[in-house]
Structure 1
């Protein structure tokens, strides 16, 4: 059985601002997804490794923030990415804490009002 999540989308109001936030916090480059639909910037991913691919999405009629889905980003040490959040325009909701044998997590808000999780072992 594979992982149940195959794709995720994080809706944003301002693509340039959101792109800068995610690229600053996670130190990677997002790539445009073409296809004639909404404005989308994909997170780095490959089809042959663990984890789900996803993108930032700007779509008319789909407001950012206030949703009830939480996406966790894998990190070597989630305190490192957490330390970049405020300088990138976001907010720390809850600093890194232990979840026992499952590692550590932190909860942060992006520039669009979306909460995201940071996870590390």
Structure 2
């Protein structure tokens, strides 16, 4: 059993990967779960999402929504894109050279995770903008 667990990790650290990272993130019991897994890659208008977040006072999440996943698609955003962005920030944290860089990236990762949680909550309640 221990050997099987070791094969999934490297030196006690989880390996990052687009699919594995998203599954790992969603598997955490304290995270909201998507009721419809197809909603994970459902793209919504980035500008509509930002406007909805700002209207409800989620300014930090709105800031993250403006650039998270922009390399994949500048006009729209999906929960999957945000989760892949979280994984990329985790990798950048491991490569950071200074404590200040690690701290800034940790805040960015936390804010991106909160954006993903908000999007999951909205998807589950049918409030995710089109």
The two structures have a TM-score, normalised by structure 1, of: 0.26
Larger radius of gyration: 2
The structure whose residues are more often strand, as a share, is 1
Greater relative contact order, per chain length (Cα 8 Å cut-off, separation 6+)? 2
The structure whose residues are more often helix, as a share, is 2
